[in-house]
Amino acid sequence: MKKRNRSFVSLLIALSFVVLAVTGVLAFALPFSLQIVGLHALMGFVFIGIIALHVVNNYHHLSRYMKTRVLWATIVITVGLTGLFLWQPAPIRSFLKLSQNLGPATDRFEVQKEGLIYQYRPSPTYQMALNLRAGETFDVTTPPHVAIWLENASFYHIKTLREPDDLTAGRAALPYWDFKRRGWEAAKRQMETEGLDSKPTPEVDGVSGATQNSSFDPADYILPADPDNPMPYRLLVEIDQPNDGQPSLVYSVEIDNSIPRSFQLLDMVGFPKQEANDADGKEVWALYFVDDQFNSALELVDSGLLTIDR
Amino acid sequence: MPSKSNLLLPQPITAERYNSMTNTQHDNGRRNFLQKSVLGTAAAGLAIASTTHTTAQTVQDASEPEIMNEIDVLVIGGGTAGHVAAIQAGRAGAKTLIVERNSQLGGTTTTGGVSFPGLFDAWGKQIIAGIGWELVKESVELDNGKFPNFAKVPQRHWQNQVFTNQFLYAILAEEKCAQAGVEIAFYEFPQTVEQTSDGWQVDCVGFGTRRRVRCKQIIDCTGGAEVVGMLGMPRLREEERQPGSFLFMLGKEHQPGRNQIHRLYVHGADSTNSRTATEANLTGRKSVLARVRKEKKRLMHMQPETGFRESYRIEGETLITVNDYTSGRLFEDAISYAFYPVDLHTKTGVRPKPLKPGKVPTIPLRALIPKSSKNIIVAGRCVSSDRLANSGLRVQASCMGMGQAAGAAATLAAKMGTTPLEVPLTKIHALLREHGQIIPGKA
């Protein structure tokens, strides 16, 4: 019985460790996902319980190890790594930058009869709250498809903050976000295969164009390494009410941390329309100014307020 | 000073004269085509450089250096605002002369090579039309060019600039001047400007020409308010100007009205006077030469002059502030819309600050009138404004809108025997509307 219990605990430890390891890597590599991080955290709690049983089963061996010099070596290594990871010198920060998750990001999305609330907290000192106040045609029982994402000043998607709940239907209903995100994923794949040289290069326009910025790393915008030289970025929302016979609408707001503002209203930009493919045969979508095909869709959102606590 | 007796009255280039000139060209063209066909058959395989013949109209008493004009409206500067002002004045019935120091009309759009004027639209609607748009539209259509889709939300403001064939534009501007009865005087610039009891006496100088002009109204479209400066009226000027742009094409063919063109910043470019403008052009061309040597590519195209962004602005009856501009303030005496980001170029480039959705700035008549002046109005980038507002107001569509308004106000003032500020705004609006312009705040 005791032996079976021991083997049961050991196998459970091994399998839960596999889940923890995989979700840990995914949580590091992918944009924030409540499913992955939630699985990782909850499995972690289970793991703690099983480890407790494992310690009980192996107390005799462990107490023997504690009397050896190995104990001190393991304590030194553990304390050293903990200190190093807490201190986060430049090489560690560089490695963490590879994460798409921006560390301890948490987000919350709620649909209420008053509208939609989205909160995003990429760091303890930076919190966004987006409040889309319900318009006259907003119906909480059939909530609209919504996607929220960030773009850099060169209009490249850099991070999807909120995917639609029904991803399949949402991608069809929110084609502009879907197009932007697919473009971003393709660019990332290209960069991975061809290296950094394939990254779009900024160009200074000597007549009238903008000096563009082109980083794809959301951390460069939200939590820049050089706070004195932040880069502006945009938050976009695409929203569509199913079965209203009207295209989705896109709202946006520019965020410039060099001119920190606590409250900003979103502006309606337009609606998406597919264009003819470009010279390379690539799919193209553009936004158009709202025309007379719109009626109830214009009343879906009364106003959009972005609040940032820095 | 020339005595009045030996001043000659020249013949303006009227529509009939212009048409007869262009007809001559067509006849010669047909003849030449036949000639070329025969030669082509006889000398197949040989490269033959052909020449189309045309004959310039004889200038009456061309050997006389001194001439005189008695006119209603004198437009000084044939650039982006000037030729539109002159066409408006001519079409409204004013006897009009336009004096231009260079060899063609159009200014920045043609000589400067910034042949992608804008912005005529804002937020999906056209906001500037009239004579400027008529010229741009005809140039594009004649050139089988393309217009931006104004219903589409531009990611960058310049996506709604209209690629225009600068050469066609310049010729069409001349044709429209001729059709409006406007006399054109190239290679001339005012030397003295004196106030008279009923207007102005302006002495202009060109090579081999001394021209005395008596006019009721002056429209100063020199860019830097040169005439206002000659009259000793106050002007504003920054310690450091925005860089100019020198346009050229290196290593590949330039197709006017189609493709982007290479450009370089000329820092310190200043159109304050002929000496500073000379220096800017020399610097620009020297840089182009250096690039040719470095990149070892063919120089396929080069504009004759730097495109200048900034020199003097007038102190007007009112001043447009950047807050007026960005908030889209509707002035009570608004005569034109304007639309462009706040777009201040610096040594490190430019980061345009787009206007907030729905905002469309307006230009008041008083911002075109030098403070406490009579019988003179300006149009173009010298509009009375602070520097940041000016960085958005200075662009071509807005200057065209100002030009047409100045042409209308000056013409009405000349007819009514008053000064532009005293002309009832309703009359200016009515005349502008009659000539296709969009009036701010009026459906």
Give the closest-approach CA distance of B113 to chain A in angstroms. 11
Query: Using 50, 70 and 90 to split pLDDT, how confident is the model at B34?
Result: very low
Q: Could you tell me the residue ranges of all domains in chain B?
A: 1-38+63-238+312-345+361-443, 244-302
A263 touches chain B (CB under 8 A): no
What number is the average pLDDT over the span B421-433? 98
Q: Up-side HSE of residue A231: CA atoms within 13 Å toward CB? A: 21
What number is the average pLDDT over the span B180-197? 97
Subunit contact A268:B155, Cβ cutoff 8 A? no
Q: What is the pLDDT of residue B348?
A: 81
Subunit contact B349:A267, Cβ cutoff 8 A? no
Interface test with chain B among A208, A248, A284, by most B beta carbons within 10 Å: A208
Question: Is CATH 3.50.50.60 the classification given to domain B1-38+63-238+312-345+361-443?
Answer: yes
Question: How many residue pairs from chains A and B have C-beta atoms closer than 8 A?
Answer: 58
Other CB atoms within a 10 A radius of the CB of residue B25 amount to: 14
Task: Tell me the one-letter amino acid at B289.
Answer: L
Q: What is the pLDDT of residue A101?
A: 62
Is the pLDDT at A195 greater than 80? The verdict is no
In degrees, to the nearest 5, what angle opens at C-alpha B377 toward C-alphas B67 and B226? Answer: 65
Instruction: Using CB atoms within 10 Å of the CB of residue A176, give its burial: 0 to 12 exposed, 13 to 18 middle, 19+ buried.
Output: buried
Subunit contact A205:B350, Cβ cutoff 8 A? yes
What number is the average pLDDT over the span A191-216? 52
**Across A202-216, B307-321, B407-421, least confident range:** A202-216
CB of B303 within 8 A of CB of B247?
yes
A37 touches chain B (CB under 8 A): no
Query: Using 50, 70 and 90 to split pLDDT, how confident is the model at A196?
Result: low
The torsion region of residue A36 among left (phi > 0), alpha (psi -120 to 50) and beta comes to: alpha
Whether the bond into B299 is cis, omega within 30 of 0: no
- Tokens for B251, please give them: 């290593």
A208 touches chain B (CB under 8 A): yes
A292 touches chain B (CB under 8 A): no
B143 touches chain A (CB under 8 A): no
Q: Could you tell me the residue ranges of all domains in chain A?
A: 2-97, 106-203+210-309
> Nearest CA to B132 among B113, B165, B150, B106?
B106
- Closest Cα in chain A to B343: A208
* Cβ within 8 Å of A, B 97-116: 114
Of A155, A290, A291, which is closest to B155 when you measure between CB atoms? Answer: A155
Q: What is the pLDDT of residue A100?
A: 61
Of B124, B155, B343, which is closest to A208 when you measure between CB atoms? Answer: B343
Query: Using 50, 70 and 90 to split pLDDT, how confident is the model at B80?
Result: very high
pLDDT tens string B318-363: 999 999 999 999 999 999 999 999 988 888 877 788 898 899 999 9
pTM: 0.75
pLDDT tens string A34-48: 788 889 989 999 999
In degrees, to the nearest 5, what angle opens at C-alpha A86 toward C-alphas A84 and A87? Answer: 65
Gap between the Cα atoms of B262 and B260, Å rounded: 7
Gap between the Cα atoms of A22 and B88, Å rounded: 74
Task: Tell me the one-letter amino acid at B9.
Answer: L
Query: Using 50, 70 and 90 to split pLDDT, how confident is the model at A127?
Result: confident
A268 touches chain B (CB under 8 A): yes
Gap between the Cα atoms of A283 and B19, Å rounded: 49
Q: What is the pLDDT of residue A97?
A: 66
Please give the residue that has the higher pLDDT: either B128 or A58. B128
What number is the average pLDDT over the span A41-61? 90
What number is the average pLDDT over the span B119-146? 96
Subunit contact B351:A270, Cβ cutoff 8 A? no
A206 touches chain B (CB under 8 A): yes
Residues found in chain A: 310
- Tokens for B356, please give them: 């907030």
Q: What is the pLDDT of residue A300?
A: 94
What number is the average pLDDT over the span B218-235? 96
Give the closest-approach CA distance of A278 to chain B in angstroms. 16
* Cβ within 8 Å of B, A 149-178: 155
Is the pLDDT at A147 greater than 90? The verdict is yes
Q: What is the largest CA-CA distance in chain B?
A: 71
Give the closest-approach CA distance of A270 to chain B in angstroms. 7
pLDDT tens string A101-124: 655 556 788 888 899 999 988 777
